[in-house]
Amino acid sequence: MTEAVTPPSPFDPPSLPPRKPGGGDAAITPADVRDGAAVALAVGVAGVLLGLLWAWLAPRAQYVSNGEAVFLRNTESEARIGADGTFFLLAAALGVLSAVGVFLWRRAGGVTLVIGLAVGSCFAALVGWRLGLWLGPSADLVTTARKAGKGVPFDAPLQLLAHGVLLAWPMAAVLVHLGLTALWSPHDPEPVPEWAAAQYPPPHVHADPAAPEPPRG
């Protein structure tokens, strides 16, 4: 006597496919680690460009010496704040460019790419900051004032008054990369549960008897 088979009910909980032994669905491979390290290295080296641009484009405050002390030539000058704004805009722009470059290189995204982008961006911001200070005017005001002479204005050294602008590059890079990945990265199709596949099988294509036969070569 054969046993009756009860068809699955649509109200039954869906059965999940068995997991593969020894890992999850999003296991990190050595190739992913290499990609993340390559991103961190490439973005970190790009901090040199930030330092060059900041030292070139940042507005300069000027000092003047009376032979005994050094004073700001213009106490109402906004050059020192402008240096912070220039650094912020340059870092944010480079963060967007680095995020777009990483996305175009690996559209699928991944945790290691985001981590590499964040680490490389933080390092790039630090490199750009320190390199800009080194390329700018000397921080030794006494020596510079003595060389310039009494009453002769000279450029003040670059300063970053608001150190929070160092986060402009990593924040812009990570946010833009996550947005691009969410919008345009390829997504895997969701698996169909077994009960749905059994209850709603895919339609079969039947040949139309009235359709003409294709010509035979």
pLDDT in tens, 162-204: 999 999 999 999 999 999 998 887 665 666 566 555 665 555 5
Domain assignment present for 34: no
Q: How many domains is the chain built from?
A: 1
Are 102 and 169 in contact by the 8 Å Cβ rule? The answer is no
Q: Which domain holds residue 177?
A: 40-58+78-183
Q: What pLDDT is stored for residue 80 in this prediction?
A: 76
What global pTM score does this model have?
0.71
Sequence-separated (6 or more) residues with CB below 8 Å from residue 37: 116
Are 80 and 61 in contact by the 8 Å Cβ rule? The answer is yes
Edge-to-edge order in the sheet of strand 70-72: 70-72, 62-65, 154-155
Q: What is the pLDDT of residues 58-70, one digit of tens each?
A: 988 887 877 677 7
Q: What pLDDT is stored for residue 136 in this prediction?
A: 86
Are 97 and 20 in contact by the 8 Å Cβ rule? The answer is no
Q: What pLDDT is stored for residue 149 in this prediction?
A: 75
Give the pLDDT band of residue 39 (cuts 50, 70, 90): very high
Q: What is the pLDDT of residues 128-157, one digit of tens each?
A: 999 999 998 877 777 777 777 777 777 788
Q: What is the pLDDT of residues 102-112, one digit of tens each?
A: 999 988 888 99
Domain assignment present for 201: no
Mean pLDDT of 24-39: 82
Q: Which residue has the higher pLDDT, 104 or 71?
A: 104
Domain assignment present for 72: no
Domain assignment present for 113: yes
Domain assignment present for 176: yes
Q: What pLDDT is stored for residue 24 in this prediction?
A: 41
Question: Distance between CA 168 and CA 166 in Å, rounded?
Answer: 6
Q: What pLDDT is stored for residue 176 in this prediction?
A: 96
**Mean pLDDT taken over the chain:** 79
Q: What pLDDT is stored for residue 185 in this prediction?
A: 72
pLDDT over 70 for what percent of the chain? 71
Domain assignment present for 206: no
Domain assignment present for 45: yes
User: How many Å from the N-terminal Cα to the C-terminal Cα in the chain?
Assistant: 54
Question: Distance between CA 161 and CA 137 in Å, rounded?
Answer: 16
Domain assignment present for 163: yes
Mean pLDDT of 34-41: 94
Give the pLDDT band of residue 3 (cuts 50, 70, 90): low
